[in-house]
Structures are given as structure tokens and as C-alpha cells.
Homo-oligomer: A and B are copies of this chain.
């Protein structure tokens, strides 16, 4: 559960002292908040504390957070795209790798360490829109209006993302996850052309590094036929899908990750357990299952509810 720490008082205590960007850029602190959910909640993996906009810096772009990401100069024209430089993330965002090295040492194998990035389409959607959006009209304008320029952008973003993740593995990440938060806004044809092929390229490049490759797509029900060809080991889906049905439609070839609705964690623990059990009871039919939420933890989630969920899932797994 990426962002599981958001609901923890110890995370909020850190955030009272330091803003989000400084937190991402200060390895000791980023490592500290990465470990908080592991220590407090007992989840069985640590996931790098960072933001999917971080690699934008390797393209020469500036991002602010207010608190969502904002680019004062979004990438709109073909000229904007051609101006993007292809930097080496090891040089532009060294703090990410230092955070991972600290975590590697401190975890010492206690739980696996997961690195991550946004998918090329999802990162590009932010770069073109300049901020979060419900429909991301601007990136679609680019895809529909100037597909060649869109491909040049996606090529560059994929190139940087590839290096960004390879360097994460070199720095100690033991699995990598690609978050595709906005691919679900595309129809199947656009997803094949502008989404999937860049995801596939990244996973192909990472394949021989020997780490599990995880692909999470929000709102993916209409893209399952395409996602079959993504090249990951694990596919994560949101709460909208029945995991067994999703697995079937994916050809039963992936370990499945998910997929409790994060809003269930706002309900009383008895309801949480009932709904977690409904997912766990069917996981025997999957090629493999990583229990998770179907999307990030909501900031207002009571910590005790998350603790109750983790306890319940652990008990269920060992019973």
C-alpha cells in the first residue's frame, strides 16, 4: 500500500516539520517515513517514499506541489517536447538512490524493498496537463491532434523512466512497480498505441535484472485484453474488478495484486474484515495473490482500521 504512511500520526509529525518536496529530497527523512508503515502496521513490504513526478526533473522540468503536482510551464507544443532533455536520473535525482541505499541497509532483508515510477502515459498526462485533472483533456488533445509529437514525448518519458528504475534496482530496490493511474481514461485502441507499448518497453528492459515487475492500472476493466501483453509478473487492479474474473481475462498468467476498496477502511472493523475475507476466500483460484488495497490509503483513514486489516489478513494467511 503506497502512501499507507499518510494516515499515521508519526508521518504527520514529520510533515509538520518539513514540506512534501523537502521530504522526498532528504534521504534520511524519506527513508524514515518509508519505514513507518512497516514498523507500525506490520505490512510485509516497504515501498519507497517518493512521488511519480520526481523523474520530471531529469527531463529538465520544474514541479511544485500545492499539495497536488503543478507545472507552471506544462509541456504543450511540439517545440516544448523537442526541448526536453534526456538527463541521467542518477545525477539529477540522486536523493532517490541514496534513500534506497539507506533503506537497504536498515531493512537488512527484514521485508522486501519496492521501488516505483509512474507509467510513461501517466507521467506524460501530468506533464502536458500541468496538474491533476478529471479527464486530462490536454494530453488527449495531443494524442488525437498530433500523434507523432505525442510519441516523441512518450519516447523521452519512457527513456528517462527506464533509467530511473534501472538505477533504483542498482541502489537496492528488490521489486519495481509501475503505476498507471490514468491509462483507464483511454479507450483500448489509444491504450495500445500510447500506453501499453511504452510499459512493455520498460518491463522488457528490466526483465533481466531478476526483480519482480508489478504493473498497477486504475480503472482497467476495459483494457484487460491489452494488459495481457504488458510483460509484468504481477498485475494490480482496483476495487472495481473481481480478482478471479480479472485474472481469467488476463489469461491466468499473472500474480494478482489487490483489491480492497480503500473507502472500506472508513467503515467499522467488522465490515472491513467481512470484505477482506470475501477477497481472500477466492484467492486460492489465482496463480498467486498479493493482498493490497485497490488504490492508495485515504488520508482520513483511522490507523486502527489499517492495523485491524493487516492483522486480519495475516491471521487468514496463516490459518
Contact = CB atoms under 8 A, between A and B. Distances in A.
B221 A144 contact: no
Given A184-B240, A187-B242, A219-B219, A137 B298 contact: yes
A267 B137 contact: no
How many copies of this kind of chain does the complex include?
2
A313 interface: no
Interface in A117-137: 134-135, 137
A283 interface: no
A221 B219 CA distance: 9
A128 B314 CA distance: 34
Interface string A251-264: 00000000001011
Given A144-B263, A221-B221, A242 B188 contact: yes
A144 B219 contact: no
Nearest to A259: B187
A259 to B, nearest CB: 9
A268 B140 contact: no
Contacts of A221: 221-222
Contact of A140 (B222, B240, B263): B263
Interface string A230-257: 0000000001111000000000000000
Contact of A144 (B134, B140, B266): B266
Contact of A141 (B144, B266, B275): B266
Contacts of A185: 240
A22 interface: no
Contacts of A242: 187-188
A144 B222 contact: no
Interface in A131-151: 134-135, 137, 140-141, 144-145
Nearest to A146: B267
B239 A187 contact: yes
A35 B219 CA distance: 36
Interface of A: 134-135, 137, 140-141, 144-145, 184-188, 219, 221-222, 239-242, 261, 263-264, 266-268, 271, 275, 298, 300
16 contacts: A134-B134, A135-B298, A141-B263, A141-B266, A144-B261, A144-B263, A144-B266, A145-B268, A184-B219, A185-B240, A187-B239, A187-B240, A187-B242, A187-B261, A221-B221, A222-B241
